[in-house]
């Protein structure tokens, strides 16, 4: 007959099973704040889904106090073409007539394309803040 060993539940071996924690608790860091809202993207002119003329400017505002990165691109679905408008703090050469106005946490982009819009355009905006929050339109 095999030798049977006695197995004792580890909790039963403790004098008081409610004294399992040997460490002091660490206070919660009250200075940590959860991330704020994602960057806000607002279409100013023209209103979304409004037809534009060949030489019309498009104005969009990106607002975030801790904005780290903004990328704007123009998509021409009928041509199968996408162009970078703004990245790394500068307008692409085809969009050199565009303007950026910074007022507090708001960055207002007025976008003009040299030679005008070759077809119907959809502007895409991606913005990332210091907390990693992403705003996309």
Per-residue pLDDT tens digits for 24-59: 666 666 666 677 899 999 999 999 888 899 999 999
What is the Cα–Cα distance from 36 to 39, expressed in whole angstroms?
Answer: 9
pLDDT at 130: 93
| Annotation: CATH topology of 38-136 | Immunoglobulin-like (2.60.40)
Residue 90 has a pLDDT of 97
Neighbouring CB atoms inside 10 A of 17's CB total 11
The pLDDT assigned to 88 comes to 87
- Check whether 92 has a pLDDT greater than 70: yes
- Rounded CA separation 11/83 (Å): 66
Q: Would you list the domain boundaries of the chain?
A: 38-136
Q: Across the beta sheet with 90-91, what order do the strands follow?
A: 90-91, 81-87, 67-76, 122-129, 134-136
């Amino acid at each position: 007959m095999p030798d049977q060993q006695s197995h004792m539940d580890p909790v039963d071996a403790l004098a008081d099973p409610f004294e399992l924690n040997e460490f002091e608790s660490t206070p919660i860091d009250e200075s940590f704040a959860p991330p704020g809202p994602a960057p806000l993207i607002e279409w100013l002119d023209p209103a979304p889904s409004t037809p534009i003329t060949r030489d019309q400017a498009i104005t969009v505002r990106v607002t975030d106090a801790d904005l780290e990165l903004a990328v704007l691109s123009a998509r021409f679905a009928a041509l199968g073409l996408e162009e970078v408008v703004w990245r790394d703090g500068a307008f692409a050469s085809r969009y050199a007539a565009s303007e950026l106005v910074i007022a507090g946490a708001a960055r207002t982009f007025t976008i003009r394309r040299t030679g005008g819009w070759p077809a119907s355009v959809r502007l895409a905006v991606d913005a990332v803040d210091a907390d990693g929050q992403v705003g996309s339109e």
